[in-house]
Amino acid sequence: MNVEERAKRIKLIVFDIDGVMTNGGLMLGDDGLESKVFHSQDGLGLKLLKNTGIQMGIVTGRTSQVVMKRAANIGIKPEYIYQGVEDKLEAFDDLIKKLNLSYETSAFMGDDVIDLPPMRRAGLGVTVPHAMPLVKEHAHYITTREAGFGAVRELCELIMKAQGTFDGQMAKFLK
């Protein structure tokens, strides 16, 4: 099955944070506070995709209030955010069950080997160009844009185009 056919079926997309929604760098201050840099184009892409009815979640190994703030801005429900996760497949499974969906109708976007179990279970496993080689071997799709620089937006648009919702979402900007 090709990427477009997989993307047509997506009802849920789950993202890792570091190295997917960000460039993977971690900024830690002397006060111990963590900062992350997100791309505004990714944020708008997520909001547009959400407008089409696609559910979204986050599964990340680190814990940060920054993630909660970004998710709130995008409109991802707090109960669909899993932080400090060691077993990402377990969290992914929990979200699938919570939403009463199937793996075939879900996508997972990650960049490191900890992301492989949910990526391999998902109907659409996605990664970024700088991902670890083993992750790229198992991905259905590798974005052309880098993490933290529009990779998430690229995936959002790929799904909207496959599902025929892209033009409708763009219409308001082309008046």
Known binding-site positions for Mg(2+): 16, 111
pLDDT at 145: 97
Residue predicted with more confidence, 27 or 75: 75
| Average pLDDT over the chain, rounded to an integer | 95
Provide the residue range defining the domain that includes 133: 3-171
pLDDT at 36: 84
Q: What is the pLDDT of residues 29-79, one digit of tens each?
A: 888 777 888 899 999 999 999 999 999 999 999 998 889 999 999 999 999
143: domain CATH number is: 3.40.50.1000
Helix, strand, coil percentages (3-state) for the chain, rounded to 5, are 45, 15, 40
Tell me the percentage of the chain whose pLDDT exceeds 70.
100
Type of residue found at 137:
E
Known binding-site positions: 16, 18, 111
The enclosing H or E element of 14 equals strand 12-15
Q: How many domains, in total, are found in the chain?
A: 1
Strands (DSSP E) along 31-175, which ranges?
Answer: 34-35, 55-59, 81-82, 106-109, 124-127, 141-142
Known binding-site positions for substrate: 18
